[in-house]
Amino acid sequence: MKAMVWHGRRDVRCDAVPDPTLREPTDAIVRITTTAICGSDLHLYEVLEPFMEPGDILGHEPMGIVEEVGADVTHVRAGDRVVVPFNIACGRCFMCDRGLYSQCETTQVREHGCGAALLGYSKLYGQVPGGQAEYLRVPQAHFGLIKVPKGPPDERFIYLADVLPTAWQAVEYAAIPDGGSVAVYGLGPIGQMAARIARYRGARVIGVDIVPERLAMARRHGVETIDANEHDDVPAVIRDMTDGRGTDSVIDAVGMEAHGAPTVKAMQTLTGMLPDSIAQTLFQKAGVDRLTVLLEAIDTVRRGGTISISGVYGGAMDPLPMLKLFDKQIQIRMGQANVKRWVDDIMPLVSGESDPLGVDDLATHHLPLEQGPHGYEIFQRKQDGAIKVLLHP
């Protein structure tokens, strides 16, 4: 089969690789019909290079048709249409019983001190072959696979694998009061959907970004927008819009690769050039992130408010303004999305005739799998208006 394979920093290729096979009775084989490139994939494309190996198959946002199931997979069968969550969770351990599927104790990657294994996401999360491929072996399929109805296009359901649950959890964790306000930093796919979900639930939403196409898309869905290129002090602008207080909540949908931190960017680049064994240790013991957006989130949120972090951070030595966090009595929630915890809430919003979250207006590019390297390039460089790239094997 063909798959998107990692070969090195900014070097992914569509290669021929062996077809997957069932290994465990809880496995399934899915023929992929649509798969997506995620902003988190871009971390593997560059910053997290030391945790990758040539030959790793990428991708954690797939859907398709079940081809074969193991003996313990009973809720789906060959021919069913399914979405594959990016978490690999058993559904029955201590953490899964509490809805914390991203912390599943059956698949935790204890070697690196990380939570549940993820599809297509480096040694840190199990080095499990991913879904940017023609076929995918799905571990823990007896619990993980999400059956979706036949008929509507894939674009209605593909975002259940990651984007929608991550955005939904971001809004939940933001604890926006009824009729309250939220600032969303970063209007990539997660930020776009978090903004729409917050709007759907009645909040005033202010979106911040530097990319014109992203700002325009957010405005189409009723979001007030701020172009950060035009202001030296975005938190001050937001305070002026909110009676001098700041928003009730802030969602950081950017993470470790924020703009505006050239020194840290240089450090990340230099670390990535070291031998893997040394670079891995530095990332895990002394790594730092580009904290520009997180610091602005802390400055933006009103006193007593909540910050929800959905953007991925990886540093172990990040300096934080603890005095300001304490003085402002800020609450912070964060973490990988517990995908299946939110699916029952989201499914009615994507499976009906209406489209209240605007999922039909998110993908900007549909490409054949063979053009995946081009998709990575334009997404990483924010070229050609790329906001969300879908690949079709």
Burial environment of residue 171 by CB neighbours within 10 A (0 to 12, 13 to 18, 19 or more): buried
Please write the tens of the pLDDT for every residue from 143-154.
999 999 999 999
- Any idea which of 5-9, 53-57, 105-109, 315-319 has the lowest mean pLDDT? 315-319
Q: What is the mean pLDDT of residues 249-272?
A: 60
Please write the tens of the pLDDT for every residue from 262-301.
443 444 444 444 444 444 443 444 444 467 888 999 999 9
Domain boundaries, the chain: 2-147+363-392, 164-334
pLDDT over 50 (residue 366)? yes
Q: Over the chain, what is the mean pLDDT?
A: 90
pLDDT over 60 (residue 323)? yes
Architecture of domain 2-147+363-392: Alpha-Beta Complex (3.90)
The confidence score (pLDDT) of residue 105 equals 97
CA nearest neighbour of 341 among 108, 197, 144:
144
DSSP symbols for 58-115: P-S-EEEEEEEE-TT--S--TT-EEE--SB---SSSHHHHTT-GGG-TTT--GGGT--
The confidence score (pLDDT) of residue 315 equals 55
The answer to whether the beta carbons of residues 228 and 210 sit under 8 Å apart is yes
The confidence score (pLDDT) of residue 317 equals 52
Sequence letter at residue 192? Q
The confidence score (pLDDT) of residue 164 equals 98
**CA angle centred on 64, ends 60 and 65, rounded to 5°:** 140
The answer to whether the beta carbons of residues 297 and 248 sit under 8 Å apart is no
Please write the tens of the pLDDT for every residue from 113-129.
889 999 998 888 999 99
pLDDT over 80 (residue 183)? yes
Q: Which CATH class is domain 164-334?
A: alpha beta
pLDDT band for 49, please (50, 70, 90 cuts): confident
